[in-house]
A and B are shown apart, each in its own frame.
Chain A
């Protein structure tokens, strides 16, 4: 079974709006990562947040991590049409940190 599960599965917003995606996981982790995948392409790393961090920023991206709730959120501010992609969270479980397990992803559509 997958470690991380994203919510919602699909999201459609207008350009300029903010997009929020959530990820829940099952076991204690070392860190959590977010990746973006454009259609038909490989995944691109966006941001990594460690288990002892609560919030991290990178440009228009803001990631939060709540280890007590085993959840994370990715916020994209002032979205652009170019942000249209699928977004995945990935975690490495503390009991087997060699494995990076991905969730099923959120498909984001940003309408011009």
Chain B
């Protein structure tokens, strides 16, 4: 299994440009999420998905869109890049629980995408 893969590894954008960060997992995980990590800080949740067709906002969703058309893929779209979005972006996945309340289990992280917005 490849686990969680992210592309690209590094990207430079100009202010106002749009782009999509790709994330894919081959573990048939129901739960996927996107985080950003700024220098010297922890991870902040941007958006998450509990299954195909279901997404919701995290702590810092403004300026980002997501969709989940398949179990495997969870792309993150930057609509109009701003310098404040310069960060390292991590995608993660975990298995969900069938029925009842979903509890967080072990998260598997991708290697990250470093984004620089000029």
Contacts and interface: CB of A to CB of B under 8 A. Distances in A.
Query: Is this pair of chains taken from one and the same complex?
Result: yes
Interface of A: 2, 4, 30-31, 33, 35, 40-45, 48, 88, 90, 92, 97-105
B106 to A, nearest CB: 5
Contacts of B35: 102
Contacts of B102: 97-98
B75 interface: no
Residue in B42, B43, B44, B107 with the greatest tally of chain A CB atoms within 10 Å: B42
Interface stretch (B14-22, B77-85, B108-116): B108-116
Interface of B: 4, 31, 33, 35, 41-45, 48, 50, 56, 58-59, 90, 92, 101-112
A44 B117 CA distance: 27
A65 to B, nearest CB: 15
Nearest to A32: B104
A90 B106 CA distance: 10
Contacts of B104: 30-31, 33, 90, 92, 97-98, 100
Given A48-B105, A98-B102, A102-B43, 5 more contacts: A30-B104, A45-B107, A97-B102, A100-B33, A101-B59
30 contacts: A2-B42, A31-B104, A33-B106, A35-B107, A40-B112, A41-B112, A42-B4, A42-B109, A42-B110, A42-B111, A42-B112, A43-B107, A43-B109, A48-B105, A88-B42, A88-B43, A92-B104, A97-B102, A97-B103, A98-B48, A98-B56, A99-B45, A99-B48, A99-B59, A100-B33, A101-B45, A101-B59, A102-B35, A102-B43, A104-B41
